[in-house]
Amino acid sequence: MKTLISTDRAAAVELLRKGEIVALPTETVYGLAANALNPIAVAKIFEAKERPRFDPLIVHLPSRDWLGEIVDLPVQDRQLFLKLADKFWPGPFTMVLQKREIVPEIVTAGLDTVAVRISVHPVLAEIVCELDQPLAAPSANRFGCVSPTTAQHVMDELGGRIRLIIDGGPTEHGIESTVVAVRGGKIDILRRGPITAEQLSEFGKIDIVMPSRKISAPGQLPLHYSPKTPLRLIDNAESFLPQENQRVGLLAWNPVEPEKKFAAVCLLSKRQDLREAAANLFRHLRELDQSALDLIVAERVPSRGLGAAILDRLERASHDQSVVPDMLE
């Protein structure tokens, strides 16, 4: 794939509208953006970045008018929330809020909350307003690499993997946005960034919530959705036999006919498409978790491309169930 660096904002909007991903400048670092309401488009972000796992992404809104669509505004902490929004939006400031149904689970890594931001960068602002859809946009670098602050950095990282990089010059802040959650009248800082604790402390009591652990190992944190039902990874559902009276649900990779041996079946992708599987993963896990099962068995997906991220999530979900009773083995 040929990657173009350009200032053609209309081309960016067109690609985003078609469900493609585009690298865009923000005031913090360059982001790799997709329509946040299109789960397949969002899966392409993880694919291009080669993220070996799914982390929750930040959603950029066209304006505050979109808040009501995407999140349930806090009831108890509403005044504090509004004060922070008035002061720091648009800007390098992200707030974690209760997500609404419309936000796909792949965006939030299965969490009930979503991180939202409104960028002040004129290019991003113009594109997201013209698109008139929220954008999910993590930093536009390959996994484990440094966040890009110029269009050329993005080219070095993702050249050949994406079609378009919009050049907006070097970014202003060069570090990622400050992430906070407002809870019980205080401000939890989940990630430090351009808006400092000192600035925030004018608005209420501050708590720094595990900043170093969060940055070094986001995937290790209890930040991800974990099913309550024990989960086991298997190679193939065909050879699996549930025990008598055991209600087992199947998260399937291989095509299956509805079968009596499983109490519930969710197929990750009819076409065995890893993007679609990634997009469906958390929704299906949640669905199975709510089906009153004794056990979820998940078929291994191929480990190529996005499959590694899916497997990582499934392995983590099975390890989370540290004690799987013997009867289930």
Binding site for ligand AMP (CB under 6 A): 55-58, 96, 108, 111, 113-115, 138-139, 176, 179, 190-191, 214, 218, 223
Q: Tell me whether residue 28 or residue 139 sits nearer to Mg ion (CB atom).
A: 139
Neighbours of 215 (CB within 10 A): 12
Query: Which part of the chain contacts Mg ion (CB under 5 A), choosing from 94-102, 106-114, 126-134, 135-143?
Result: 135-143
Q: What is the DSSP string of 143-197?
A: TTSPPP-SHHHHHHHHTTT-SEEE---S-SS-SPPEEEEEETTEEEEEE--SS-H
Q: Tell me whether residue 75 or residue 217 sits nearer to ligand AMP (CB atom).
A: 217
Q: Does 139 bind Mg ion (CB under 5 A)?
A: yes
The sign of the torsion formed by the CA atoms of 122, 126, 127, 133 equals positive
Q: Tell me whether residue 214 or residue 313 sits nearer to ligand AMP (CB atom).
A: 214
* Min dist. Cβ of residue 143 to Mg ion (A): 9
CA angle 245–250–254, rounded 5-degree value: 140
Binds 38, which of ligand AMP, Mg ion, none (CB < 5 to 8 A, cut-off by type)? Answer: none
Q: What is the DSSP letter of 49?
A: H
Q: Tell me whether residue 135 or residue 182 sits nearer to Mg ion (CB atom).
A: 135
Distance CA(296)–CA(291), nearest Å, equals 10
* Min dist. Cβ of residue 100 to Mg ion (A): 25
Q: Tell me whether residue 52 or residue 242 sits nearer to ligand AMP (CB atom).
A: 52
Q: Helix or strand or coil: residue 231?
A: strand
Binds 22, which of Mg ion, ligand AMP, none (CB < 5 to 8 A, cut-off by type)? Answer: none
* Min dist. Cβ of residue 210 to Mg ion (A): 17
Distance CA(204)–CA(44), nearest Å, equals 39
Distances 137 to 48, 97, 142, 242 between C-alpha atoms, Å: 12, 17, 13, 42
* Min dist. Cβ of residue 259 to ligand AMP (A): 36
* Min dist. Cβ of residue 165 to ligand AMP (A): 17
Instruction: Name the site residues for Mg ion (rule: CB under 5 A).
Output: 139
